[in-house]
Amino acid sequence: MLQQTQVKKVVDYYRRFLQKFPTLEKLAESNLQELLKMWEGLGYYARARNLRKAAKIVVSDMNGEVPTDYKTFRKLPGVGDYTAAAVQSIAFGHVHAAVDGNVKRVIARMFMLDSPVNDIKFQSLFQEKASFLLDRDQPGTFNQAMMELGAMICRPKAPLCTICPVNLFCTAFQSACQDQFPLSLKRQPIPSYYLVVAVIRRDEEILILQRPTDGLLGGLWEFPCGEIDKVEELPEDVCCRIIQDSFNLQIEVTGFLTQIKHAYTHFKTTMDIFECRYLSGEIVLEQMQDYRWVKSDQIDQYPLIGANHKFLSLV
């Protein structure tokens, strides 16, 4: 949960998660949809699938015992260099330096490194520096201290150098140039897309679709939608045409609900949401994995994408 996600956001999810899946065995035999529901809104849903996969492996192949050595643990799905080092050092006291985004920033400033922290080429450099600094006697505590230092004191903007416990050892602070570090590569500008979303009612039920298990928002549910290239026609007409072309359903638009914006990592979207009525047609799924006609008070039972939650109360 903590991969690329701040502690504050994780805490509540973590508590609920442990309550629902208190043991490795419970997690291993969990239903993926139920797990995704617990993960709903946390993002990076492959983490949930990998965690479940890892639990299955540990239960079935490892006698239910989490590996206590770095190499074996590192092989589990979803476990990379950082997670392996963090868990093995904190849980078992093994000597591995955990290098996350916070640690890289601390190191870049401490040694005035001109290597961009977001350039994978220099990952090993930061790893070496962290290993050099690591306290061999209490690696877990040291790793947590480094991460906490980065999060609380050695912040991205306006670091609190005057109260930093290690400012005597920080070459950037001693040179009064801490604001020039760390360096990072500019990211590419991200594209924008326009989508129409159809809330299609048939009697008392509404149509929702399940996204493919892998890829963006894998396994989550959403209202039918489609991309508009240009806004030349009436949005209502575009909406009907897209639903016809994508799902073989004939519908009519009964009203405009709202417009929302939603940003992802690599693109951002503007969505026009339309209230629609089902007219005819048998649904055909090409892109999507599954579909359901559900009553509006049942939607909560499905893990829904965040963009749809933004207008769900209106539905």
Partner DNA sequence: AATGCGGGGTT
Partner DNA sequence: AACCCAGCATT
Sites of contact with DNA (CB under 7 A): 2-9, 41-46, 50, 76-84, 86, 100-102, 104-105, 118-121, 143-144, 147-148, 150-151, 155-158, 182, 184, 186-187, 189, 215-218, 262-266, 305-307
Q: Are 115 and 108 in contact (CB under 8 A)?
A: yes
Q: Which residue's CB is nearer to DNA, number 178 or number 249?
A: 178
Q: Bridge partners of 292?
A: 208
Closest CB 130 distance from DNA, rounded Å: 12
Q: Which residue's CB is nearer to DNA, number 42 or number 253?
A: 42
Q: Are 234 and 253 in contact (CB under 8 A)?
A: no
Q: Which residue's CB is nearer to DNA, number 209 or number 240?
A: 209
Q: Which residue's CB is nearer to DNA, number 120 or number 176?
A: 120
Q: Which residue's CB is nearer to DNA, number 136 or number 186?
A: 186
Structural tokens at position 36: 């995704």
Q: Which residue's CB is nearer to DNA, number 9 or number 202?
A: 9
Closest CB 262 distance from DNA, rounded Å: 6
The residue among 102, 227, 226 whose CA lies nearest residue 155 is 102
Apex 311 CA angle, 254 and 259, nearest 5: 65
Closest CB 89 distance from DNA, rounded Å: 11
- Which is it for the CA torsion 175, 179, 182, 187, positive or negative? negative
Element (H, E) at 235: helix 235-247
To the nearest 10°, report the CA torsion of 161, 163, 169, 170: -10
Phi, psi (5° rounding) for residue 206?
Answer: -125, 145
Closest CB 197 distance from DNA, rounded Å: 14
Q: Are 295 and 302 in contact (CB under 8 A)?
A: no
Closest CB 109 distance from DNA, rounded Å: 12
Q: Which residue's CB is nearer to DNA, number 82 or number 278?
A: 82
Closest CB 211 distance from DNA, rounded Å: 9
Q: Which residue's CB is nearer to DNA, number 150 or number 224?
A: 150
Closest CB 136 distance from DNA, rounded Å: 19
The residue among 251, 308, 305 whose CA lies nearest residue 40 is 305
| Pairing, β 192-202 against β 225-228 | antiparallel
Q: Which residue's CB is nearer to DNA, number 104 or number 201?
A: 104
To the nearest 10°, report the CA torsion of 24, 29, 31, 34: -30
What distance, in Å, lies between the first and last C-alpha atoms of the chain?
A: 30
Q: Are 139 and 93 in contact (CB under 8 A)?
A: yes
Q: Does residue 251 come out as left (phi exceeding 0), alpha (psi in the -120 to 50 range) or beta?
A: beta
Closest CB 229 distance from DNA, rounded Å: 19
